[in-house]
Structure 1
Amino acid sequence: MRLATARDELTSLSDVRVRQNPAYISVVLLSKIITRLGTVEEIDPEVVGGLYAVDLAFLQKFYEKINVDGTPIASTTCPNCQHEFDVDMGSRLGG
């Protein structure tokens, strides 16, 4: 995922699907800024809209983390030992 630009956000707002359903903005916006998603070569709103809800929620939180907080560092907890640690989720953001 790359950092979002003002243009990304503005063009997402003008998308006809977003005008019909404002909740769809995150799907359109994420489809513009996700640069790689596993082996999927072309990311479009249909791909993002077809994700499991938990995966979409993760991407939405990551978007907020890098675009609002300005850092790709996320705190997490190991599900096995409950050890808390930070993870760099993308040091090449913005490129």
Structure 2
Amino acid sequence: MFQTEFEFTLPKGYLDADGNVHRKGVMRLSRAMDEIIPMRDPRVKANPAYATVIILSRVILQLGALDEVTPMTIENLFACDLSYLQKFYRQINELEIEAEQPAEQPSPSTIEAIDLP
């Protein structure tokens, strides 16, 4: 059996309305639908970069003591934490291209769905 869930620790952490900081979390591997469904969302149609927010909210299973991770949670992350999660997402889903590895490149649509402009 292969690993489908990965623990992470945010550099700064999500600061909730009560002043609690949530840093430790779990992200699962992405499925095709995690990248397809956001493309139907009107917020993504208006701003393609918003796909990142929706995708991350779908694949993050746990963040600290939060009951759920919503798009609003992702919207309120510090920029360094959002960047960290984007890199982590690409890493665990094997979307990173190693310089010394002449492997197939992921399709541009997959990369653009998670990259911010």
TM-score by shorter chain over 0.5: yes
Please report how far the alpha carbon of residue 69 of structure 1 lies from its aligned counterpart in structure 2 after TM superposition: 4.9
> Structure 2: where are the runs of 5+ without partners?
1-26, 97-117
* Residues 1:49 and 2:47 are matched in the alignment: no
Deviations 1:41-70 (A, max 9, x none): 111100011000000100000000011259
Supply the distance in 1 between the matched residues of 2:86 and 2:52 (Cα, whole angstroms). 7
Counterpart in 2 of 1:15? 41
> Structure 1: where are the runs of 5+ without partners?
71-95
TM-score (normalizing by structure 2): 0.57
Supply the distance in 1 between the matched residues of 2:65 and 2:82 (Cα, whole angstroms). 17
When the two structures are aligned, how many residues end up with a matched partner? Answer: 70
Identical residues among aligned pairs (%): 46
Compute the RMSD of aligned alpha carbons.
1.3
TM-score (normalizing by structure 1): 0.70
Supply the distance in 2 between the matched residues of 1:69 and 1:26 (Cα, whole angstroms). 14
Counterpart in 2 of 1:25? 51
Q: Which runs of 4+ in 1 moved over 2 A?
A: none
Instruction: Give the 3-state SS of the residue equivalent to 2:93 in structure 1.
Output: helix
Point out the structure with the larger strand share.
2
Point out the structure with the larger helix share.
1
Counterpart in 2 of 1:35? 61
Counterpart in 2 of 1:75? none
